Structure 1
Amino acid sequence: MARKKKIEMEIINTNAAGIDIGSRSHFVAVGQSLEDVKEFGVYAEDLIELCEWLLSYGITSVAMESTGDYWQNLYVELQKHGLEVILCNGKFTKNAKGKKTDVKDSRWIQKLHSLGLLTSSFLPDEMTEILRTYCRQRTNWLDLAASASRKMQKYLKFLNFRLDVVVNDICGLTGMKIIEDICNGNLDPYSLAEHRHYNCRKPKEEIAKALHGNNREDFLFGLKQEYESYKFFQRKIKACDIEIEKLVRKEIKKNPEKLKLKTTEKPYKRINKNAIDIKNFNQVAYQYFGGVDLMAIEGVSHATVMAIMSEIGIDGFKKFKTSKEFCSWLRLAPNNKISGGKILSNRIPKGSNRLKIALRHSANAIGNLKDTHMSDFFKRIAYRKGRQSAVSATARKLAVIIWTMITQKVPYQPPTDYLFLDQKRKLKLVSRIKKNITKFDIKPEDVGFCNLPNLSAEF
């Protein structure tokens, strides 16, 4: 009779515990027997009792799933008591056989953690986490403001005020003044057309023609409420901008050397109306990253830099040893599946975080540029594989560039410099002149260059 063989695995974490996170209670396992599992509540005193119980068993390291938002308070309390916390993705702990219970889950997590089979998720430092809270709250207000803007446009169409035809943006200078006047009771189209901004392409006559409406009271009521909501959301966005600016400048002041750093102006960088309202953000971002000018990268906007600051921070880049690890965390690197020596799949994994989305937006903007190093790369990929693949490839290239610049403190040096429109015209003009000089064999004396006075001697 053949003897059964047992495969033993080395215990990596000897004093390890596993916690199954719940909305109303947490199950904690310090071993594999039923007596080693205990249930705790979610109140503050319960969390303190949980930590003290773990310390009484000599536990030094704890693993738990990142279930919703229920883990955050417990995570902070565990760290306060000096325990190492491994916060892992739930998909790495879902292989337990048999009936699923909270007790079995906690024991399974404890077993995996003892054997060193769990890896921790990325967590930013405290300052970056605070900045992230402000930025995400600001994004929520932006979404609500956009929703209110769409509803305003809907009510304007119901009223037959075709403001969307004569102005590019109903929330621009002309549109908002007209809507405000309508909400105040002025329904005269010619009087409303007087609010036309001088930059508006349509004349006053055409704007007045578009503002002959049916003046239904119910639609006017709905428009007024949505306008008030939109103004309320804009005030909330402004309040978030103030808090973000105070926090960033406070962080910069901690290192006086950063205040001495100066960068070049970038007037060619367009500022979107939804961009964060921080005075001289280009200079602030340069000082925040300790002399790394991320705005020098073509396609990188204020929103992209703000996403980098709030989602990962400066210290966050140090947690990734190579740019490949950083791209893999962003899910911008191919997930190669190989079997039998053949590549079965090399698709990019599903899932997006806010930084990946920001980099993809920048990559999409790069695809609309001309005659730059990054746009040439984008078009080469787009020609072979399509625009979608080009966006992903360019976003990955941006991630590698940004990781290298921040970790190694090197400036952005593309093989070909970005040229402004006047510089491009000058190069074309000089090239055409040189071509004509060669073609017609023109000498300097033929155009009188030799007879010009020496102006440099007068100065």
Structure 2
Amino acid sequence: MEQEIISMEVVNPQAAGIDVGSRSHWVAVGQSEQDVREYGVFNQDLFAMAEWLGEKGTKTIAMESTGSYWQNLYAMLTAKGFEVILCNGKFTKNIKGKKTDVKDCQWIQKLHTLGLLTGSFLPEGKTEELRTYCRHRANLLHSAASASKKMQKYLRLLNFRLDVVVRDICGLTGLLIIRAICEGETNPQKLASLRHGNCRKSEEDIAKALQSNGRKDYLFALKQELETYDQTQEKIARCDKEIEKMLDDIINSDDNKRQHYIEAKPYKRVNKNTPKDIDLNLKAYRIFEGTDLLAIEGMSFSTVLALMSEVGIEGIRKFKTAKHFASWLRLAPNNKVSGGKVLSSKVPKGSNRLKIALRNAANAIGNLKDSTPLRDFFHRISFRKGRVSAISATARKLAVIIWNMVVKGVPYINPEGYLFLDQKRKLGLVKRIRKQIDKFGLTNEDLGLETVHV
């Protein structure tokens, strides 16, 4: 009896596989020994690799996304006209037998030839540049926060309990007092007189917390940390200017983006870590071509900036449906079914900066005092499954809303809209008065109101 052979269809006949490394790259264009070569990571080595691949008639290449070592190689091969697919390492690791670099590149080449590999999401060029600036800015913010914590530590060791009487030691009052301390001032009354008018504590309370023990070593360390904090703030300011230039380049390169205009939103609170001198409301409205993402309650300027820098408008349009977008963000349940039973429906592990930004926005929605559709949805899920599940569910709903707004042009409408603080107070007062009138059954005569007869 003849043995039946089942062969898989070759999807990419002229395919190559690359095992990316920190010191060398292994390239395979076939499954024999002469079809595998090793190249270095220097520029001339990469060009030699591209020349050899061209001689072999290679048209499409698959490589693993190993750290940041793939980026220069990916850019060079793309510039040479090759179709390059960047793959997640977990889809190429199930190789049988002993693991070697030669077997790895051959395994990647075999999978790519049979069409079993899919490419990872990559933003377009200008969005990637903007992402670099924004991620570097986030790292600078972490450095500034670290310096702030160390300043608070040395203040406490000096017996300056500024953290007890001031909400933020890096605020207006806190920095003025810290600078005076570093200049040698130790008089509690003089230090307390630097209090800003918005500070809740009185000068007497602040003076009680500023009794120094005179340790010179701690004072020296405090000065060093203040210098680090100031230098970091200067770097953040310069980074903000580069981000603004990049946003202007993206907008000015497209006439469709330039023509849009929107009024400012004074009710949107500006966080202290948000770029101060950039009108993110207008720039986001132009980059997303007339889509007002800040109309969604809970969406902050930092969330919109993360959306612009991590995916951009063209990146969102790459996803076929809102479900694909939510799944890429790892906000959708990963259902595992076997034997007709659902074994697991947990949200998969893993995170990215955009997912974190959407979860922060969802948490802000849950803290809203006014009733809105998203806030009510958050509290329904929180009542049944807890706050953590409510944050994930609301973040997923935000991702779906954003995709529909950007791709389909569906505007987000909040039935109650936004109200300024004075308007909220007025409505609250009217509601309280009506409740009192209904409670005591008061009439127009009791209230002294004259009825006009026509």
Query: TM bucket by the smaller chain?
Result: over 0.9
Alignment of 1:44-443 (within 5 A): 44-370=43-369, 371-427=371-427, 436=437
Alignment CA distance shift 1:154-1:427 (3 Å) = closer
**Residues 178-231 of structure 1: CA deviation (Å, up to 9, x unaligned):** 111111111111111111000001111111111111010000011000010000
Give the partner amino acid of 1:328: S
In terms of mean alpha carbon deviation, does 125-134 or 264-273 score higher? Answer: 264-273
CA distance in structure 2 between the partners assigned to 1:151 and 1:430 by the alignment: 49
CA distance in structure 2 between the partners assigned to 1:80 and 1:253 by the alignment: 25
**CA drift at 1:7:** 2.1
Alignment CA distance shift 1:302-1:192 (3 Å) = same
CA distance in structure 2 between the partners assigned to 1:213 and 1:428 by the alignment: 48
Give the partner amino acid of 1:168: R
Give the partner amino acid of 2:193: E
**CA drift at 1:79:** 0.5
Give the partner amino acid of 1:398: L
**CA drift at 1:420:** 4.3
Give the partner amino acid of 2:12: N
Structure 2, unaligned runs of 5 or more: none
CA distance in structure 1 between the partners assigned to 2:335 and 2:41 by the alignment: 41
Residue equivalent to 1:456: none
Give the partner amino acid of 1:163: L
CA distance in structure 2 between the partners assigned to 1:369 and 1:268 by the alignment: 14
**CA drift at 1:247:** 1.0
**Residues 427-452 of structure 1: CA deviation (Å, up to 9, x unaligned):** 45556777758956759xx8335279
CA distance in structure 2 between the partners assigned to 1:259 and 1:329 by the alignment: 30
Give the partner amino acid of 1:253: N
| 1:323–1:404 Cα contact (<8 Å) kept | yes
CA distance in structure 1 between the partners assigned to 2:433 and 2:231 by the alignment: 59
SS of equivalent residue, structure 1 residue 27: strand
| 2:326–2:399 Cα contact (<8 Å) kept | yes
Structure 1, unaligned runs of 5 or more: 453-459
2:450 to 436, 448, 451: 448
Give the partner amino acid of 2:281: N
Alignment CA distance shift 1:151-1:434 (3 Å) = closer
CA distance in structure 2 between the partners assigned to 1:83 and 1:437 by the alignment: 76
| 1:373–1:416 Cα contact (<8 Å) kept | no
CA distance in structure 2 between the partners assigned to 1:257 and 1:449 by the alignment: 57
| 2:359–2:395 Cα contact (<8 Å) kept | yes
CA distance in structure 2 between the partners assigned to 1:161 and 1:430 by the alignment: 47
**CA drift at 1:413:** 1.2
Alignment CA distance shift 1:437-1:179 (3 Å) = closer
**Residues 37-80 of structure 1: CA deviation (Å, up to 9, x unaligned):** 11111110110010111111111000000001111111011011
Residue equivalent to 1:455: none
Give the partner amino acid of 1:448: E
Residue equivalent to 2:32: 33
Alignment CA distance shift 1:389-1:284 (3 Å) = same
In terms of mean alpha carbon deviation, does 261-270 or 411-420 score higher? Answer: 411-420
CA distance in structure 2 between the partners assigned to 1:427 and 1:27 by the alignment: 69
| 1:372–1:418 Cα contact (<8 Å) kept | no
CA distance in structure 2 between the partners assigned to 1:301 and 1:9 by the alignment: 50
| 2:160–2:210 Cα contact (<8 Å) kept | yes
Alignment CA distance shift 1:372-1:126 (3 Å) = same
CA distance in structure 1 between the partners assigned to 2:438 and 2:97 by the alignment: 86
CA distance in structure 1 between the partners assigned to 2:42 and 2:257 by the alignment: 43
| 2:280–2:305 Cα contact (<8 Å) kept | no
| Structure 1 stretches of at least 4 aligned residues deviating more than 6 Å after TM superposition | 432-435
CA distance in structure 2 between the partners assigned to 1:235 and 1:423 by the alignment: 39
| 2:15–2:29 Cα contact (<8 Å) kept | yes
**CA drift at 1:255:** 2.7
TM, length-normalised to structure 2? 0.95
SS of equivalent residue, structure 2 residue 274: coil
| 1:333–1:396 Cα contact (<8 Å) kept | yes
CA distance in structure 2 between the partners assigned to 1:434 and 1:168 by the alignment: 38
| 2:25–2:38 Cα contact (<8 Å) kept | yes
CA distance in structure 2 between the partners assigned to 1:146 and 1:192 by the alignment: 24
CA distance in structure 2 between the partners assigned to 1:68 and 1:396 by the alignment: 28
**CA drift at 1:264:** 3.1
| 2:373–2:414 Cα contact (<8 Å) kept | yes
**CA drift at 1:269:** 1.1
Give the partner amino acid of 2:42: Y
CA distance in structure 1 between the partners assigned to 2:201 and 2:453 by the alignment: 54
Give the partner amino acid of 1:155: Y
Give the partner amino acid of 1:22: G
Alignment CA distance shift 1:191-1:432 (3 Å) = closer
**CA drift at 1:35:** 1.1
SS of equivalent residue, structure 1 residue 17: strand
Identity value in percent = 61
**Residues 373-392 of structure 1: CA deviation (Å, up to 9, x unaligned):** 11111000000000000000
Alignment CA distance shift 1:7-1:168 (3 Å) = same
In terms of mean alpha carbon deviation, does 401-410 or 304-313 score higher? Answer: 401-410
CA distance in structure 2 between the partners assigned to 1:378 and 1:404 by the alignment: 20
CA distance in structure 1 between the partners assigned to 2:427 and 2:219 by the alignment: 56
Aligned pair count reads: 451
CA distance in structure 1 between the partners assigned to 2:119 and 2:257 by the alignment: 32
SS of equivalent residue, structure 1 residue 447: coil
SS of equivalent residue, structure 2 residue 193: helix
1:9 aligns with 2:11: no
| 2:444–2:451 Cα contact (<8 Å) kept | no
SS of equivalent residue, structure 1 residue 195: coil
